[in-house]
């Protein structure tokens, strides 16, 4: 019995403990719900092949959560290196999608139905979209790293302007690209949903970069103390700049995925409030929003947890507009448990208890 408690104590100190517990809780809620409803108990985990594509609730979560997961990668680096958040990612996503569609369809054209109507190859449009997002990241990074402006204020500029510029590019209209070749980014690749594959690729690329280079260590050291890292010979300005550029590029990728999903540039809605999800994912992943040490896996699990919560809520019959209430309560519960004051309180209680026991043992 005691060894189990000790093991639990040890495990609960691991960085991935919190995100995994959140996932587990969501899973249990789903199981209980299905059991009550009289469905197959593991309905949540069940997936099958339907019309040549994987189908099931868990697949849906992996599919729908892709954008947040892709954004969470960049956001983790930004939070870690600059102790601030990039609130422009949602807007930049929309800008990337709008630019891509505008380039493909031509300015002012609202519908593209045949391959011949395209103004340029699809990959050029996609790369341009991702590139412009990277430029936005560069701009944000310049303001934060070089001009020493608070990240939230610096990114507020593109938060306001990104979506608006996107609307100007598309002439205030929805631009539809009804082409299978374009829909593929938000559709399916063989039997897998493409967004999931793209998210997996992004995670893999980032993981390889972090494993093979010392970028991760540099980022953390800059986040913990920029001055000390500069004295130790790390170019902290360049590191922060790089983090923002990476974050921008990933928001571009997420923007293309989101655009392709609805095969249209809907500047008003693409990536709406997704910056909040991305930041939440980072916090849920056990990362401090105050910068410093980071855990990429935690952030990604956090992103999928948020999606799992959302999907579960829809499955439980919560209306879309009301879902934020439950999300808010869950977020508050999780951060309260993580908060230093509560941790200190429990440590104090434990110390008191042990002290009491020691006294009792002596007498």
Q: Which residues bind another protein (CB under 8 A)?
A: 85, 143, 147-150, 152-154, 156-161, 163-165, 167-168, 172, 276, 279-280, 283, 289-290, 319, 321-329, 331-332, 335-336, 339-342
**With respect to another protein, which residue has the nearer C-beta, 205 or 289?**
289
Apex CA 26: angle with CA 276 and CA 286, to 5°? 50
Shortest spacing between CB 298 and another protein, in angstroms: 15
**Residue found under tokens 């019959």:** 317
Nearest to 255 by CA among 121, 108, 89: 89
Residue ranges of alpha helices (H) inside 272-322 are 274-284, 296-315
Q: Is the Cβ of residue 1 or residue 321 nearer to another protein in the bound state?
A: 321
Q: Measured from the CB of residue 256, what is the shortest distance to another protein in angstroms?
A: 21
Shortest Å distance, C-beta 64 to another protein: 18
CA angle 302, 332, 149 (to 5 degrees): 75
Residue 295 Cβ, how far from another protein at the closest point, in Å? 17
State the nearest-atom distance from the C-beta of 77 to another protein, in Å: 18
- Smallest separation, CB 152 to another protein (Å): 6
Whichever of 31 and 323 has its CB closer to another protein, that residue is 323
Estimate the crossing angle of helix 89-105 against helix 236-261, to 10 degrees.
60
150 or 213: CB nearest another protein: 150
Cβ-Cβ contacts under 8 Å for 132 (sequence gap 6 or more): 95, 96, 99, 252
Q: Which is nearer to another protein, 184 or 344 (CB)?
A: 344
d(CA 178, CA 101): 11
Q: Which residues of 153-168 are buried (b: 16+ CB within 10 A; e: fewer)?
A: ebbbbbbebbbebbbe
Is 113:178 a contact under the CB 8 Å cutoff? Answer: yes
Burial class (CB in 10 A: 0-12, 13-18, 19+), 124: middle
Q: Indicate the residue among 42 and 345 with the shorter CB distance to another protein.
A: 345
Q: Taking Cα atoms as reference points, which of 293, 292, 310 lies closest to residue 302?
A: 310
- Nearest approach in angstroms of CB 119 to another protein is 22
Number of Cβ within 10 Å of residue 204's Cβ equals: 10
Q: Which of 155, 174, 167 is nearest to 90 (CA)?
A: 155
**Closest approach of Cβ 334 to another protein, in Å?**
10
- Whichever of 41 and 318 has its CB closer to another protein, that residue is 318
Task: Give whichever of 66 and 85 is closer to another protein, judged by the CB atom.
Answer: 85
DSSP structural state of residue 121: -
3-class secondary-structure state, position 192: strand
Q: How far is the CB of 37 from another protein (least distance, A)?
A: 23
């Amino acid at each position: 019995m005691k060894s189990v408690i000790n093991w639990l104590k040890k495990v609960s100190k691991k960085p991935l403990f919190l995100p995994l517990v959140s996932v587990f809780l969501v899973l249990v809620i789903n199981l209980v719900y299905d059991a009550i409803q009289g469905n197959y108990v593991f309905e949540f985990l069940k997936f099958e092949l339907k019309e040549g594509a994987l189908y099931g609730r868990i697949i849906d979560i992996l599919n729908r959560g892709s954008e947040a997961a892709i954004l969470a990668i960049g956001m983790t680096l930004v939070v870690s290196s600059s102790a601030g958040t990039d609130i422009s990612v949602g807007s930049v996503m929309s800008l990337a999608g709008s630019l891509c569609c505008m380039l493909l369809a031509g300015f002012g054209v609202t519908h593209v139905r045949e391959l011949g109507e395209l103004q340029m190859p699809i990959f050029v449009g996609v790369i341009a979209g991702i590139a412009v997002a990277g430029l936005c990241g560069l701009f944000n990074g310049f303001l934060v790293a070089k001009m020493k402006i608070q990240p939230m204020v610096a990114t507020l500029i593109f938060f306001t302007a990104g979506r608006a510029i996107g609307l100007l590019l598309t002439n205030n209209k929805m631009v539809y690209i009804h082409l299978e070749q374009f829909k593929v980014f938000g559709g399916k690749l063989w039997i897998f949903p493409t967004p999931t594959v793209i998210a997996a690729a992004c995670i893999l690329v980032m993981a390889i970069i972090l494993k093979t280079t010392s970028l991760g260590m540099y980022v953390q050291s800059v986040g913990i103390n920029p001055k000390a890292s500069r004295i130790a010979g790390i170019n902290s300005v360049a590191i922060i700049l790089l983090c923002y550029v990476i974050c921008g590029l990933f928001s571009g990728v997420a923007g293309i995925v989101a655009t392709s999903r609805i095969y249209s540039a809907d500047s008003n809605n693409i990536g709406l409030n997704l910056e909040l999800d991305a930041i939440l994912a980072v916090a849920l992943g056990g990362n401090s929003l105050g910068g410093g040490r980071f855990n990429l896996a935690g952030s990604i699990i956090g992103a999928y947890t948020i999606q799992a919560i959302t999907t579960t809520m829809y499955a439980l019959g919560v209306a879309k507009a009301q879902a934020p209430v439950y999300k808010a309560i869950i977020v508050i519960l999780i951060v309260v448990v993580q908060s230093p004051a509560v941790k200190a309180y429990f440590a104090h209680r434990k110390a008191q208890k042990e002290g009491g026991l020691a006294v009792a043992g002596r007498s």
